[in-house]
Chain A
Amino acid sequence: NAGVTQTPKFQVLKTGQSMTLQCAQDMNHEYMSWYRQDPGMGLRLIHYSVGAGITDQGEVPNGYNVSRSTTEDFPLRLLSAAPSQTSVYFCASRRSRTVEQFFGPGTRLTVL
């Protein structure tokens, strides 16, 4: 199993550009989440999904969209990038009725 994979690893955008961060897992996990991590901060939840076709907002959803058309994939879309979205983005997944979240390797995003 590859576990949780994220692409790209690094990305530089200009203010106003849009892009999609990819996340995929091959463990058949129902729950998937997107977090952002800023220097000196803990992880903050952006959006999450409890299954295909079901998504909901987390703590910091503004400026981001998600969809979950399959169990495996949970892409995060930045609609119009802003410098405040410069961060490291982690995708995580877990099986329902278990507690252990598995994190992907992260995407380091810089918005100029």
Chain B
Amino acid sequence: GQQVMQIPQYQHVQEGEDFTTYCNSSTTLSNIQWYKQRPGGHPVFLIQLVKSGEVKKQKRLTFQFGEAKKNSSLHITATQTTDVGTYFCAGGTRYSGGGADGLTFGKGTHLIIQP
């Protein structure tokens, strides 16, 4: 079945440093979604990318979808304490059995910020 791998598992940064998490799929994706989950909280949808090579920005967050639609990245510039949490990617394919959205979630990257 489809696999979505996410690295690193943990990332420690000093406040103000940049952070990047990477997502790689074993199969070509139709779309990729990113979520943030604060400690003890629930996942919150951030964005969906659909097009090959697509880049989207949300303030200090930059999301990229690879040209082959098999990988994606999330980059945070100048991290703040409010960025603490786990960032998940979820790759979508129409026939993966992952529900109406065909989503397979990565295991997430835990972002830990040291003030």
Contacts of B105 in A (CB 8 A): 42-44
Total interface residues on B, CB under 8 Å, equals: 24
**Which residues in window 33-58 of A have CB below 8 A to B?**
33, 40-45, 48, 50, 56, 58
Q: A40-B107, A43-B43, A102-B45 are in contact. Are A48 and B88 (CB under 8 A)?
A: no
A-B contact pairs, 28 of them (CB 8 A): A31-B100, A31-B101, A33-B100, A40-B9, A41-B107, A42-B6, A42-B90, A42-B105, A42-B107, A43-B88, A43-B105, A44-B105, A45-B98, A45-B99, A45-B103, A48-B99, A58-B97, A58-B98, A59-B97, A59-B104, A90-B42, A99-B31, A99-B101, A100-B48, A101-B43, A103-B42, A104-B42, A105-B42
Q: In whole angstroms, what is the CA distance A101 to B106 when docked? A: 16
Q: In whole angstroms, what is the CA distance A81 to B107 when docked? A: 25
Total interface residues on A, CB under 8 Å, equals: 23
Picked from B44, B97, B99, B104, the residue with its CB within 8 Å of the CB of A33 is: B99
Residues of A within 8 A of B (CB): 31, 33, 40-45, 48, 50, 56, 58-59, 90, 92, 99-106
Q: In whole angstroms, what is the CA distance A90 to B105 when docked? A: 14
Minimum CB–CB distance from A19 to chain B (whole Å) comes to 20
Given contacts A43-B43, A99-B31, 8 further A-B contacts (CB under 8 A): A31-B101, A33-B99, A33-B100, A42-B4, A59-B97, A59-B104, A99-B48, A103-B42
Contacts of B106 in A (CB 8 A): 42
- Nearest A residue (CB) for B4: A42
